[in-house]
Amino acid sequence: MSEQKQDRDAVIERVLEERKDQPGALLPILHGIQDVLGYVPREAIARIAQALNLSRAEIHGVVSFYHYFRTSSPGRHTVYLCRAESCQAMGANQLVAHAKANLGVDFHETTRDGAFTLEPIYCLGNCACSPAMMIDEQVYGRVTPERFEEVVRQVKEAA
Ligand code: FES
């Protein structure tokens, strides 16, 4: 068994032990695992199902219902594009289309080089400077397609 897999299994077991007896334990468990690993690995689904006496399909249903949960390892940087009203009114749709084409991915996907994962988000509290995006906790406002490319290049170069 690889060291990485052992670490993952240890995280899953620890979170299950801490949270499985809480009322409505499923969501806290999924959050706990994703907070540490960055995603909910496939093997976690089977283990959670067993621990909570639920079917794998039920766990899958919850994981896919909440877009927040990821089932694959995220990229080194996560790009969040705001999809909420104010940003929509200021050209977020065009920005989203540009970002997808520029990175070559759809939402919830990671670029081939593992650098960026693209995610939607619903309001970054930066509505006065719409359209907004966030990369690695840093919020950017009035993001044009050109500015998007520039920021992505800077983040990549700084890594
Ligand atoms: S609507 Fe996009 S930051 Fe508020």
pLDDT 10s per residue in the chain (159 long)? 677 788 999 999 999 999 999 999 999 999 999 999 989 999 999 999 999 999 999 999 999 998 889 888 899 999 999 999 999 999 999 999 999 999 999 998 999 999 999 999 999 999 999 999 999 989 999 999 999 999 999 999 987
Q: pTM value? A: 0.78
Q: What is the distance in A from the centroid of ligand 1 to the CA of 66?
A: 20
SS3 at position 117: strand
**HSE-CB for 29 with a 13 A CA cutoff:** 27
Q: What is the distance in A from the centroid of ligand 1 to the CA of 88?
A: 8
- Ligand 1 within 6 A of CB of 86: yes
Q: What is the distance in A from the centroid of ligand 1 to the CA of 52?
A: 38
Q: What is the distance in A from the centroid of ligand 1 to the CA of 97?
A: 17
Name the residue of 80, 81, 83, 87 to mutate for ligand 1: max ligand atoms within 8 A of Cβ.
87
- Ligand 1 within 6 A of CB of 132: yes
74-87 burial: b if 16+ Cβ within 10 Å, else e: bbebbbbbbbbebb
Question: Which ligand 1 atom sits closest to the C-alpha of 123?
Answer: 4
Quote the pLDDT of residue 72.
85
Separation CA 130–CA 46 (nearest Å)? 42
SS3 at position 102: helix
Q: What is the distance in A from the centroid of ligand 1 to the CA of 132?
A: 6
Quote the pLDDT of residue 85.
96
| 125 burial level (CB within 10 Å; 0-12, 13-18, 19+) | exposed
Separation CA 15–CA 38 (nearest Å)? 14
Please report, in angstroms and rounded to a whole number, the separation of the first and last CA atoms in the chain: 31
Give yes or no for a contact between 90 and 130, defined as CB atoms under 8 angstroms apart.
Answer: yes
Q: Where is 155: in which H helix or E strand?
A: helix 145-158
